[in-house]
Structure 1
């Protein structure tokens, strides 16, 4: 009995060196030390970028840097990828004006420190200054639309607009595997076939005013990203957004985590299976044509399927009230 216990408690060695393993990839059983885990994760992201042709030689990539672990990890990974693929990184921080816990201020400072460390100039957009309202202003109005949904709308609008102004070829975001899986699950629950058909790790440009978006981390687990920034000693905002408790995807993410604990690799299998097998069935020529037939907002000139875009309607509600 004692011998069994000793064998069970014995530490594993890294698969690629003589160091003790700092972690084990649960769905593959691969034990890795800190150094080789970092290399392993970076290689997986590089492979994803190449597989989906997310970034091409000579492109200008606008990278949304929020200060959170996902965007900070992506910032450093893309900087390393520059050694292999010659492209330009344009880091951009959106100051949403969240005053509680000095959240926006601290996030911006951390984003700037990481960019300076990598020799990159961070562009900051303060939405209060540029558009006349902050996320705090939106929350105070208690609109019917969930605050996290509004936040996503603002970020997409600003990233797209700035990408056009800065002549960026693509916009890169730090959405991870857990994010992707929760989006899929949420839209299944809502039976939103239109949104399901549009979910993709790379969204090409159908319109010159709608810049393509890429998600290089979409096959990387959230806890793997946490380990990556920890093992590399990267600074990131480690306090939750004050509005995060309002997120409708939180419960779905918890369900997915429970599923993963029962069946390691389930989330990755689900996301890969969706994109490879199910999404092609949901897509059709008509939906693609709808994307191509976007009009422009009569107030700001950005792409929209209606006379006035969602961002301008939101802005009008907040400022008028």
Structure 2
């Protein structure tokens, strides 16, 4: 069979089928389109200002490695005027984080960026290995999520930086939306769908430049750019509630490739229903962009999607990419196909959303309490309560009475509320 030409340049051979819309592209066009979509997200949402110092939350995984590479490229190409620094958190997980930190150290040299590593043991006196030893694997992601969120902010303050970017992608955002829908927590959903949390007055702002990038396309970009990253899944994560949402998202993607962005857009629309006075988020600033619908065939399955957890699926995808690349070197090329037989569809573009109606009224009449940001009386970290969640969890650990029923505002927690609802339903059914 004659090779198919790239749908964009029409000259080079197509090597990639985009998971987002099944568009057939050559390697160079795919890399360019991927970078340009990130650039469009950055400029449309006005994430950065010239002269900003930005801390990149670097774990050594594919998402943060791609984020660091793309931001460095775009910063030089479009003269953003940013000073980029890598900020890594050492949770203290032997056989996982210690190995991934070696990758981050290599990235710091490769990208010529300063690196700051902050450890749980340094901040809290506990490593995650010690926490799991004390409480077991059930619910440990609650502790790690709270500690990690606070550690990133504290690390940024140590560096004198007020803006942290993380590698959360479209798959991550879609999973979080489903988790919060299952919890029935619209205020938290509104905060999690925002591409930026915090504002100019916040001590530390957070943003997600990869919010509209598919996880599979991130893997493809890392593979074809030959980036150095760590691909092992966390040893303690399979018990997390997020894993169930991830499996559902992957199954939806098999049936409809645009399902991930559809869920993200739906979450953004639902977030507009939550009054700004409750969430403290300005919708008009944080929800400016979305992606147009994918043009791919709805019935075609995404590559490598089999309902397993993210770590195993992405590892299989990376292995297949390597095998395909080795096979291509043994391939005998033939005459290029005629260009009039190719459908030259355009790639997705990031478009503007209509301005939401701030302060929308809720029909249910349920009164939502506004969170007032203050500081923790114990550690001085910003908190909406007198004692921050990290200090409350640490108090339970130090007293050997882990407080597992504390409601924690963190994306990676296993919802105790949902678990209790399911237990009651099971009792009623029995």
- TM-score above 0.5: yes
Partner SS state of residue 282, structure 1: coil
Matched with 2:273 is 281
Higher helix share: 1
**2:87 corresponds to 1:92:** yes
**Residue 273 of structure 1, CA deviation:** 3.5
Give deviations 1:85-104, integer Å, cap 9, x for gaps: 111111111111101xx211
Q: Structure 1 residues 143 and 27, CA, compared in 2 at 3 Å: closer, same or farther?
A: closer
Give deviations 1:72-118, integer Å, cap 9, x for gaps: 0001011112112111111111111101xx21111100011011101
Give deviations 1:148-181, integer Å, cap 9, x for gaps: 2322211110111222232213110000111000
Partner SS state of residue 224, structure 1: helix
Partner SS state of residue 280, structure 2: helix
Distance 1:129 1:297 in 2: 19
Runs of 4+ in 1 over 6 A off after TM superposition: 289-292
Asked which structure has the greater CA Rg, the reply is: 2
Partner SS state of residue 114, structure 1: helix
**Residue 223 of structure 1, CA deviation:** 0.7
**2:378 corresponds to 1:295:** no
Is the contact made by 1:73 and 1:228 (CA closer than 8 Å) also made in structure 2?
yes
**2:242 corresponds to 1:163:** no
Q: Superposed, which structure 2 residues align to 1:230-269 within 5 Å?
A: 230-269=223-262
Residue ranges of structure 1 left out of the alignment (5+ in a row)? 1-5
Residue ranges of structure 2 left out of the alignment (5+ in a row)? 282-368, 401-430
Q: Structure 1 residues 53 and 154, CA, compared in 2 at 3 Å: closer, same or farther?
A: same
Equivalent position to 2:35, from 31, 39, 42: 42
**Residue 205 of structure 1, CA deviation:** 2.7
- TM-score, L = length of structure 2: 0.68
- TM-score, L = length of structure 1: 0.90
Give deviations 1:216-266, integer Å, cap 9, x for gaps: 011011111111111111111121110121221112112111111211212
Q: How many residues matched? A: 309
Distance 1:36 1:120 in 2: 27
Q: Superposed, which structure 2 residues align to 1:53-132 within 5 Å?
A: 53-83=46-76, 84=78, 85-99=80-94, 102-132=95-125
**Residue 37 of structure 1, CA deviation:** 1.2
Distance 2:138 2:233 in 1: 21
Distance 2:137 2:72 in 1: 40
Matched with 2:394 is 315
Equivalent position to 1:271, from 264, 280, 286: 264
Q: Which moved more, 1:131-140 or 1:143-152?
A: 143-152
